[in-house]
């Protein structure tokens, strides 16, 4: 799964333990973006995965010092080979966030 590159080892271990402890009958595991070994379906729009969009929103809220619930992703798409551009609604306007595939926010700028 792609996530393991972005979190400290302790977090990964904790996550693994939680994974083992979960009683999720019938559940499989995969990455958050829906990439399975041989996908049979895909989204028609190449939007950023939901978790990356929300990471952008929470980072923007912190940087702009506004309530988290006042920032919401409204648009997203690829930005270069390994990142996404996410447009956010923010109080009194919009902002643009660039986030890479590892979940690292590169920038947040007013639109």
Partner 1 sequence: MTLFQISKWKMAKPAAAAATLIACVMAGAAMAQTFGTQIYDHVNKRWVPYTPQAAVRYYRAHGKTPEEFQRQLVTFRTAEKPGTIIIDGDRHFLYLVLPNFQAIRYGIGVGRDGFGWAGIVEVGQKREWPTWTPPAEMIARDPEAAKWKNGMPGGEDNPLGARAMYLYVDGRDSIYRIHGTTEPWSIGLNISSGCIRMNNEDVIDLYERVEVGAKVIVLMQGAALYKGV
How far apart are alpha carbons 100 and 106 in whole angstroms?
7
Among 2, 63, 96, 107, binds partner 1 (CB under 8 A): 2
Beta bridge partners of 100: 83
- The kind and range of the H/E element at 19 are helix 9-21
Q: Interface residues for partner 1 in 47-86 (CB under 8 A)?
A: 47, 49-55, 58, 69-76
Residue 6 tokens read as 């972005």
Q: Which residues would be at the binding site for partner 1 (CB under 8 A)? A: 1-3, 6-7, 11, 14-15, 17-19, 22, 24, 26-32, 34, 36, 39-45, 47, 49-55, 58, 69-76, 89, 91, 103
């Amino acid at each position: 799964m792609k996530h393991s590159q972005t979190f400290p080892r302790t977090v990964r271990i904790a996550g693994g333990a939680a994974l083992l402890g979960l009683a999720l009958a019938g559940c499989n595991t995969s990455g958050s973006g829906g990439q399975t070994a041989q996908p049979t379906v895909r989204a028609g729009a190449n939007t950023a995965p939901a978790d990356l969009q929300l990471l952008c929103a929470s980072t923007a809220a912190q940087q702009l010092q506004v309530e988290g619930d006042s920032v919401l992703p409204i648009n997203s798409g690829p930005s270069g080979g390994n990142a996404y551009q996410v447009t956010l609604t923010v109080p009194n306007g919009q902002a643009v966030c660039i986030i890479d595939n590892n979940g690292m926010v590169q920038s947040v700028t007013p639109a």
